Amino acid sequence: MDSETKKILTRVSIDFLCLVAVGVPSLYLHLFAQPYQRGFFCDDMSIRYPFKQSTVSTVVLYFIGLGLPIIVMILLEVLLVHRRKNAWSPTFIFGKRIPVWVINSYKTVGVFCFGALCNVLVTDVAKYTIGRLRPHFFDICKPDIDCNAAMYKQKYITEFICTSKDNTSYLKDSRLSFPSGHSSFAAFTMVYLALYLQVRFQWQGSFLLKRFFQLCCVIMAWCTALSRVSDYKHHWSDVLVGLFIGTTVSFLTVLYVSQLFDKHKTPFNFHQSGAVSSASNQAMVEKQDLTIQDGVHAAPVELHG
């Protein structure tokens, strides 16, 4: 195995371990942790709504939230390279040159996934720390408390037993209202995709097409957030904070991790953001006068329709 291949595999392995390191804590919380055991007041009507199935299920949320941006990013990187003459990078692995779109897609999708995992971790830590009761808590828990009794009037109740026969996962979930995970994840993925399109989608055949796609992204996130209130899954403040978290993490990822808006980076190089940059690769870049910019670190590439 040549030295360049070893460096690339090392870089990929480190990137993968970083993703795992961010994802494992969230997985641990979901599998083993218990949320803060918050009590309630009997006259709190905000937690007495009926249980409803989600309009946007968790499966649909992750399928669209992850699948749509990743597919769009890869397709756009392929199209951008297709419009250029040099489709091959100066980077080799196992003696074979890597296509430009593969490197660009690796960086683009990798940063997106890292940001998504960070967003999930931030949201889950808040959920398990706060332990706010969902609007349908009473319907799921059915606490063994007679709220008509005088002794419970205006009393904060912390000692009670849920008499519901529902799955224990429902009982645990009923304490995870703040902040809204659906709103947070939808905001991150769709805002990130909108920002990505702002830089990388430069087709000039229509002035409004890119704006239309960006609007669709924002509307999808907004409708997902609104459904969490109408389904009695969250209080409005949970949704508002979830949108704030997702949007904030999205902007931080774009500006400080992906450097998507940085127009002063050198042409693409698999190692350019690390300490293992190859001088021979840089010389090859200069010799070939490559015009394709790195998919994550580059200036916009224009497509003329």
Q: Active-site positions?
A: 182, 234
Name residue, tokens 């199209």. 79
234 within 8 A of 137, measured Cβ to Cβ? no
Q: Which residues does residue 108 pair with via DSSP β-bridges, in sequence order?
A: none
Q: Of 87, 105, 86, 89, which is closest to residue 97 (Cα–Cα)?
A: 89
3-class secondary structure per residue, the chain: CCHHHHHHHHHHHHHHHHHHHHHHHHHHHHHCCCCCCCCEECCCHHHCCCCCCCCCCHHHHHHHHHHHHHHHHHHHHHHHHHCCCCCEEEEEECCEEEEHHHHHHHHHHHHHHHHHHHHHHHHHHHHHHHCCCCCCHHHHHCECCCCCCHHHCCCEECCCCECCCCCHHHHHHCCCCCCCHHHHHHHHHHHHHHHHHHHHCCECCCCCHHHHHHHHHHHHHHHHHHHHHHCCCCCHHHHHHHHHHHHHHHHHHHHHHHCCCCCCCCCCCCCCCCCCCCHHHHHHHHHHCCCCCCCCCCCCCCECC
